[in-house]
Chains A and B, each alone.
Chain A
Amino acid sequence: MRMTLGSAVVGAAIVVFSVIFVVVAMPVLVFHPTPSDIAEPYTAAQLRGRQVYEANGCFYCHSQYIRPQDWNQPGVTDSNGRVAQSGDFAYQQPTMLGQHRNGPDLSEEGGVHPDDWQYAHFFNPRFVNPKSIMPQFSFLWTTDSAGNVTPTQDLKDLVAYVQNLGGKLADERYAEQVSQKALFANAIGAQANPNVPGDVSGQFSDTNQKALLSVVPQKFWTLLDPVPPDQRSLIDGKTIYVTNCIGCHGVQGNGEGPASQFFLNPYAYNFTNAKNMTSGLSTSPGSLYEHILYGIKGTAMQPFGQDLTVQNIWDLTNFLYTIPNGGLTAAEPTMDMFIQWRPSTELNQLSNAPLVSPGQGSAQISTQPPIAYRQPNQAWH
């Protein structure tokens, strides 16, 4: 074949444009997915937040679709009972499917965490997740002349967008976060002053203990730790605590980690109260296990089921009972620091009642509508 300028130019154009017709033009001509059951248009704030998400390149590390093999798999959020459908993206321009997962998939992120967790996380992701390698977004906050640090409108919009990831499902989860947060705010009540860091006395109040109990299945209420609190278990538990929990619960275990001090409402739980850890209504090993495994909706407590094994969680639970006796301040926790939790008379009475769903009468939260217990990854059903 003799190549001339004409044959090279025209030939090159014909070859490539015929393939372009197939792989670029034909999809647009024939493929018009209708909006799926969860797709919904963005509000103005969400749209602005989406631009902040674009501008800061969030999509380089966070994908926005759940693959068939990711279904209920790690790497995605805990609300991943749904594989992405083509109609989910109907209102997106551009779509940000993403090519890498240096962070978790965010397509169902909306409503998985409450707003206060999001703000703490954007300020510094290590505050709530010490293993995270996400950049700080502290530049999305402003400091006024009085020294008050407040989120900019950009950040508020960004949180609005993130809380909508997952469309209508996200809205449903977010509504649950809001109502659960109201439950805990009511339960802690006026005894806790959110402006005074460290005033967490409201956490041990009867109403708050019962609110915490209300999100745990009854069979966990008086469950004891199946892993014996030996030296290995306590040391492993401390390692897990230090690498996962200090951002909120603090290096002393008193709930004064940086995230908790500056951002969270309600505060992270205070484990230093010996009385509460000995016979508290909501501090049974079973309750703590359940909280660590599934998190607590409405609070910044996130599910650790994908980061920790079952034994990890029981070890951590064992370790928490050494904190009032200096488990965190001593070089290593010893078995004599361990507090054996025993159910109180009140809890025995509550748990001897006929087995019901939590929130349906056992915990007396009269001002709140009953909240049905749901596992986090079943939230959308």
Chain B
Amino acid sequence: MSSATGTIAPPRYPGYAASRRMSWLESLSQPNSAARNFIYSATFWVAVTDTIGLVTSAEFVDPDLFGGIPWLEFGRVRPMHVNGVAFLWLSMGYVGVFFYIIPKLCGRPLYSERLANITMILWNIWGVALILTLGAGMTQAREYAEAIWPLDIWFVILLGLTAYNIFMTLATRIEPKLYVSVWYIIGALVWFPNVYMIGNVIWNPPFGALQGIDDSVWQWFYGHNILGLWFTTGGVGIAYYMIPAITRTPVYSHLLSLVGFWTLGLFYTMVGQHHLLQTPTPGWLKTVATLGSISLFVPVLTFITNIFMTMRGNWQKIYESVPLKFIITGVIFYLITCIQGPFQATQSFNRLIHFTQWIIGHAHLALLGAFTFILMGACYYVIPITLGRRIFSVKLAEAQFWLMTLGFLGFFISLQIAGLIQGACWMTTNHSVYWCLTAIRPYLIARSVSGALMVSGGWIQLYNLYKTATAGEFITAPAPAAVEAGGL
């Protein structure tokens, strides 16, 4: 065998075809190619859109940094970053991992690999169009729902194609039992397109909004439920697959996962109004939201208990497996998010932190701390295993992990402190917003510096996955267990 030179290796996995050159079109119907292509795209977007995020944070420190350039003006760059990480990095990454998990759990290949790859291409074009339109100031001016109407429709079609592919795979599956990850993926794909259409008021093309203050009620139903019914649902589903697969341990409790799944759908849908606790909107909606937010302890604690009990006796494996390290860290950040969240949704605490930088810290704790870490771990699991290659550089991946973790902690803690300073400043002193801004400036600088560490983590992942795909060492030794575990 010539594996020592790393050029040719026997195909170990179905569909692995390195021994002859494929045409580009042919490569689009290879098993798992869509999963990989989605993950490559997502990784590209996390590097790019996190860099855009760094631009927004730099504009807090020096507002004249890009002064006078319209497409780099803060109010245009911010939605590029938010929509980019939400709908390009996390969403594309999730779909990529779904396209790997679902065939695995169904015992059959994906229903249509070619359709999945077409979805991937359309999704990337959508992403470019989204960034360009936002830069040009074309927006519907509602947070997370900025995309203009044609792009809304386009995105719903992308979700529809994804859902069709996955549901057809499920309908023709060989394995009769539905594993817990599959429920979560089903939930995510049933809920998210509906939430997206309602939240974007998609039947009202010129505005994408209702008239009057009911519009805010709808907007924040949507704003919170892309998190609750898509990012949480998908991320939890991925963690439920990855952790048992890597540790080779069955999930601790079927009952706990059932309780977690149904209460997630029930309680998360209620909570949107907690963004509007001091607005002139109906009080009963605020009560529903606060109660729903506190009830979220049920799905969260069942999930956390289930994961930690599954990890019982397996904790040493986080030193052996880079993906597991990322995912477990993500789960811990998820726990912190979901302890913070219910407290923030109570009137008394919300009064202090609403409108402050605390909220930015919390939002990043969920989307960056929890779900980006889970997804990065999943990327490092799926790419090597479907290519039959080892991770190009485990050291780089470790470096990425620590840059991300330390960068994130610095980012998060400085924003939380800044938020408390702002809240206290507004509530207890007679000073204007401007005065309070000078008080939090050191923390905003610390935020930008630690943000830069995380951005470098994204670029490292892009480089590492690219090198894994092109120059990763082929797995030839008969150690499938270690490989399955995302091991080294």
Contact = CB atoms under 8 A, between A and B. Distances in A.
A20 interface: yes
Given A99-B355, A306-B432, A12 B143 contact: no
Given A23-B288, A74-B433, A101 B355 contact: yes
Interface residues of B, number: 87
Report, nearest first, the 4 A-B pairs whose CB atoms are least far apart. A57-B75, A94-B209, A55-B137, A54-B141
Contacts of B209: 93-95
Interface string B58-69: 011001100111
Given A12-B265, A27-B214, A306-B431, A22 B288 contact: yes
B63 A133 contact: yes
Interface stretch (A134-142, A163-171, A189-197): A134-142
Most buried by B among A32, A92, A126: A92
Interface string B32-60: 00000000000000000000000000011
Given A94-B140, A97-B279, A307-B431, 10 more contacts: A22-B270, A23-B273, A31-B282, A33-B280, A58-B75, A83-B280, A94-B219, A102-B433, A132-B63, A133-B63
Contacts of B270: 19, 22-23
Interface in A66-95: 67-70, 73-75, 83-86, 88-95
Contacts of A85: 280
A208 interface: no
B68 A97 contact: no
B23 interface: no
Contacts of B213: 33, 86, 89, 92, 95, 97
A350 interface: no
A100 interface: yes
B25 to A, nearest CB: 32
Contacts of A307: 431-432, 434-435
B362 to A, nearest CB: 11
A1 interface: yes
Given A13-B190, A99-B275, A139-B69, A93 B207 contact: yes
B174 interface: no
A93 B217 contact: no
Nearest to A139: B70
B202 interface: no
B138 A24 contact: no
A361 interface: no
A207 B85 CA distance: 60
Contacts of A23: 217, 221, 269-270, 272-273, 285, 288-289
A103 interface: yes
A20 B432 contact: no
Interface stretch (B241-249, B401-409, B422-430): B422-430
A63 interface: yes
B394 interface: no
Contact of B64 (A20, A54, A136): A136
B432 A75 contact: yes
Nearest to B444: A133
A28 B275 CA distance: 18
Interface string A237-249: 0000000000000
B60 to A, nearest CB: 6
A227 B465 CA distance: 67
Most buried by A among B70, B143, B280: B280
A124 B430 contact: no
A68 B435 CA distance: 21
Contacts of A131: 434-435, 437-438
A104 interface: yes
B142 interface: yes
A65 B178 contact: no
B218 interface: yes
Interface in B214-230: 214-219, 221, 229
Contacts of B139: 54-55, 57
Nearest to A93: B211
Contacts of B435: 74, 131, 306-307
A228 interface: no
A88 B138 CA distance: 26
A56 B137 contact: yes
Nearest to B73: A135
Contacts of A12: 183, 186-187, 190-191, 265
Given A135-B63, A136-B68, A65 B279 contact: yes
B445 interface: no
Contacts of A102: 60, 433, 437
B241 to A, nearest CB: 15
12 contacts: A9-B167, A23-B288, A24-B218, A55-B139, A60-B75, A65-B278, A73-B430, A75-B436, A102-B60, A102-B437, A126-B63, A129-B434
A99 to B, nearest CB: 7
Nearest to A68: B278
Interface of A: 1, 3-5, 8-9, 11-13, 15-17, 19-20, 22-24, 27-28, 30-33, 54-61, 63, 65, 67-70, 73-75, 83-86, 88-104, 124-126, 129, 131-139, 305-307
Contacts of A98: 355
Interface in B196-214: 198, 207-214
Given A16-B229, A27-B214, A133 B265 contact: no
Interface in B148-192: 167, 170-171, 178, 182-183, 186-187, 190-191
A16 to B, nearest CB: 5
A131 B139 CA distance: 29
A97 B207 CA distance: 16
B75 A56 contact: yes
Contacts of A97: 213, 216, 276, 279
Contacts of B447: none
Given A22-B288, A61-B75, A1 B258 contact: yes
A8 B187 contact: yes
Contacts of B60: 102, 133
A19 B75 contact: no
B143 A16 contact: no
Most buried by A among B137, B170, B212: B212
A125 B74 CA distance: 14
A380 to B, nearest CB: 17
A86 B265 CA distance: 30
Contacts of B210: 28, 93-94
B282 A27 contact: yes
Contacts of A75: 355, 426, 432-433, 436
Nearest to B211: A93
Contacts of A54: 139-141
Contact of A94 (B207, B280, B359): B207
B214 A60 contact: no
Contacts of B214: 27-28, 31
Contacts of A135: 59, 63, 67, 73-75
